[in-house]
Amino acid sequence: MTEVLKQHLIDPEICIRCNTCEDICPVGAVMHDSRNYVVDAEKCNHCMACISPCPTGSIDNWRTVLRDAAFSTADQLTWDELPLAVELDEASVTMAVARTSSDGDSIQANGADAGLGSIVAPPSAATPVVNLYGAKNTMIATVSGNYRVTALGTDSDTHHIVLDFGSGNFPVLEGQSLGIIAPGVDVNGRAHHARQYSIANPRDGERPGYNNVSLTVKRVTVDYVGNPVLGIASNYVCDLKKGDAVQVVGPFGASFLMPNHAGSHLLMICTGTGSAPMRAMTERRRRLRATGDTLADGRLMLFFGARSQKELPYFGPLMNLPKDFIDINFAFSRTPNEPKRYVQDLMRERAADIATLLKDVNSYIYVCGLKGMEAGVLEVLRDTAIAHGMDWQALHAELKRDGRLHLETY
């Protein structure tokens, strides 16, 4: 008996390799190499958990194939583009048995529940524009600024890059990201794929009223295990000069967005360059507050981790923010003669204030930065909730359902 399979595939031309799908897949069906993200047809159970979190929509691709002729992961890892969809000749199929319903609706609910964070935006968030530009129709931006935002003499060479779109259309919201395609080709002679960076400015521009965006980019000089390696895109971006033309794709992201209603509180937790979206949201609120807009009403609480004060991007500007505007907590892990402190350690110290926020349905939580922080932060939230008489399981489910717990870690 020949079975027909609706095979789940990822479009390598659109994918920005952000790892969200691999991270969220509950059955380990997604894998990647240095080039592509692919789906193992033997493992994928069509639970749809990965579909809506994907910032680009590249994950939502399907081909009807005979199960025996399904594309292997080895095949998919060599692709530069998806194969054309081929109509199956019904007559040649002994028995057509699709493994799932064609729309996946019946199992969507399970999938949507698989991750630890929300896959929907806060209900009051502005509607984002996504995927205006892709690898085949890039937007060309011009560099209008490149400043180092960590102290000289430290290992963290982090840059604040400003890109101007001139008269081009590239609308963004706080929490969205874009992709940059470095020029040239990889070792296999293929064009580099886009690297994703969070936008660090509010919706009305890095400079209010200007058609520009900013990014926070750390120069990668070692790989995950500490071997020396020069990151292609991060080094390209950190070396950009004013006036350089840059290929941009995006914007991406439809859930890591801020609420747009008066009285909403933001609990922001980040490490290193994961501060980019927090800068965007904070600056949005700061600008609203300056005009007396009631949309700025609500608490802002920030936990920000870095190796040292000198390696914390934007340390100076953050220190200048009024105390009654934002409650800032820095965690430094490598300050000589001081104990190692992570954001979750500081959160435990501020548990009473976090509990107040957790009890308020107007509180929205954002976590961005190193993957390793995610578990620790969720543990503190759980412990804090329980210690203050809340049912964490129910609260966690509510936070996820209502677009109030956003995790973006790599």
Q: Does 20 bind ligand NAP (CB under 6 A)?
A: no
Per DSSP, the residues of 369-383 read E-THHHHHHHHHHHH
Burial class (CB in 10 A: 0-12, 13-18, 19+), 47: buried
Give the burial string for 70-98 (b: 16+ CB within 10 Å, else e): bbebeebbebeebeeeeebeeeeeeeeee
Q: Could you tell me the smallest distance in angstroms from the CB atom of residue 68 to ligand NAP?
A: 40
With contact defined as beta carbons under 8 Å apart, do 50 and 8 qualify? no
Q: Does 216 bind ligand NAP (CB under 6 A)?
A: yes
- Separation between Cα atoms, residue 35 and residue 27, nearest integer Å: 22
Residue selected from 16, 41, 306, 367 as contacting ligand NAP according to rule CB under 6 A? 306
Residue selected from 11, 157, 283, 408 as contacting ligand NAP according to rule CB under 6 A? 408
Residue selected from 133, 197, 236, 303 as contacting ligand NAP according to rule CB under 6 A? 197
Residue 184: what are its φ and ψ, rounded to 5°? Answer: 90, -170
| Shorter beta-carbon distance to ligand NAP: residue 166 or 372 | 372
Residue selected from 342, 347, 378, 384 as contacting ligand NAP according to rule CB under 6 A? 342
Q: Could you tell me the smallest distance in angstroms from the CB atom of residue 197 to ligand NAP?
A: 4
* Residue list 242-281, contact with ligand NAP (CB under 6 A): 271-274, 276
Residue selected from 213, 343, 347, 381 as contacting ligand NAP according to rule CB under 6 A? 343
Q: Which residue is nearest to ligand NAP (CB)?
A: 272
Q: Count of residues binding ligand NAP (CB under 6 A)?
A: 27
* Residue list 347-386, contact with ligand NAP (CB under 6 A): 368-370, 372-373, 376
- Report in angstroms the alpha-carbon separations of 280 from 125, 217, 260, 277, 297: 14, 14, 14, 5, 17
Residue selected from 118, 176, 198, 211 as contacting ligand NAP according to rule CB under 6 A? 198
Across the beta sheet with 158-164, what order do the strands follow? 195-198, 177-181, 245-252, 139-148, 158-164, 212-218
| Shorter beta-carbon distance to ligand NAP: residue 11 or 408 | 408
Q: Could you tell me the smallest distance in angstroms from the CB atom of residue 199 to ligand NAP?
A: 8
Q: Could you tell me the smallest distance in angstroms from the CB atom of residue 233 to ligand NAP?
A: 11
- Separation between Cα atoms, residue 278 and residue 302, nearest integer Å: 8
Where do contacts with ligand NAP occur on this chain (CB under 6 A)?
A: 156, 197-198, 216-218, 271-274, 276, 305-307, 333-334, 342-344, 368-370, 372-373, 376, 408, 410
